[in-house]
Amino acid sequence: ERLLQLSEPIDPLAVQPLNQVIHAEAACRIAFMAAEGLGTEPSPVQAWAYATLAEERGSSTAKELTAKLTLDESSKGEARKILETLR
């Protein structure tokens, strides 16, 4: 006997926003760790990639960090490659 009777199947995409919020906060924390160099050398490139990912997923805190990070064109290209990998 089923414990839960559903009139329609659960759409996994309907659950996605909660997952995005959780992942946005995790990515945001990683971005701050990379920016500040916690336990390692600071990496603005890594910080920008993770902050941009978090920003895309709805983190306003990450948006503030992304605005503060300044990268030259070469570094920004490298950061974009990392971002594509993370997506």
To 5 degrees, how large is the angle CA 9–CA 11–CA 14?
145
- Tens of pLDDT, residue by residue over 13-50, are 555 555 566 688 899 999 999 999 887 889 999 999 99
Number of helical H runs and strand E runs in the chain: 4, 0
The two structure tokens encoding residue 20: 């995005």
- Tens of pLDDT, residue by residue over 49-76, are 999 999 998 888 998 999 999 999 999 9
Distances (CA, A) of 10 to 17, 31, 37, 52: 14, 33, 42, 30
pLDDT of residue 60: 86
Whether the full predicted model's pTM is greater than 0.85, yes or no, is: no
pLDDT of residue 39: 78
pLDDT of residue 20: 63
